[in-house]
Amino acid sequence: MAGSTPNGSAPKWRFACQVEDIPSDGGACVSLNEEQIAIFNFSRRGQWYATENRCPHKQQMALSRGMTGSLGEQCEPKVACPFHKKTFSLVTGECLTGEDYKIRTYPVKIKDGKIYIGM
């Protein structure tokens, strides 16, 4: 479970969607509390991640459509914005292309085929 709540408190779990709504080894966007949340399914690894959908570089709601993959020896999961290829860690939200951008990450919980996001 990656991510943290904005104020570091215990998350309030919100139903986001069904597991089958998110493509295998890909991402999709849901709306929760008037925010666009990108959810990523790394099915080969059995891992799920959630971030804000907004790329901070040009303020575009696009990360859910980005290219996912892994970086380095630790195989850190990442997403690259489909427009300008800014790449972000799905664990920490840090920009991996050496720039001073960061995205918000959220914890993910899967239960009975449903995806919950901690907010």
Beta bridge partners of 61: 54
- Residue 115 is predicted with a pLDDT of 99
User: At 61, which CATH number?
Assistant: 2.102.10.10
- Residue 26 is predicted with a pLDDT of 95
In a domain, residue 8? The reply is no
In a domain, residue 111? The reply is yes
- The residue range of the domain holding 77 is 13-118
**pTM here?**
0.90
In a domain, residue 108? The reply is yes
In a domain, residue 31? The reply is yes
Mean pLDDT within 76-81: 95
Strands (E), 5-104: 13-18, 26-32, 35-42, 47-52, 54-55, 60-61, 67-71, 76-80, 87-89
Mean pLDDT within 31-58: 96
Polymer length in residues for the chain: 119
In a domain, residue 4? The reply is no
In a domain, residue 6? The reply is no
In a domain, residue 19? The reply is yes
Distance of CA 28 to the CA centre of its chain: 9
Tell whether the model's pLDDT for residue 111 goes beyond 60. yes
